[in-house]
Amino acid sequence: MSTEDRLKATAKNVEGKAQEAAGNVTGDPEDRAEGKAKQTEAEVRHSAENLKDKVKKALD
């Protein structure tokens, strides 16, 4: 798996958590929703990378 892709996914997750927290503090439901969406995107990216690793391992 690409370390760079994992780092990008982790950064997106952190960004999403921060945005969700900011939305909670300010009471902005749009920020909360966007933050949760970014976290979901990061989870999908991690899952894709895990799948790539499993396929590569199976082929080796």
Say yes or no to pLDDT of 50 above 70: yes
Residues 25-49: tens digit of each pLDDT = 999 999 999 999 999 999 999 999 9
CB atoms within 10 A of CB 34: 17
pTM, to two decimals: 0.85
What does the buried/exposed string (b/e) look like for 2-20 if buried means 16 or more CB atoms within 10 Å of the residue's CB?
A: eeeeeeebeebbebbeebb
pLDDT at 28: 97
pLDDT at 37: 97
Give residue limits of the domains in the chain: 3-59
Place of tokens 């799948």: 51
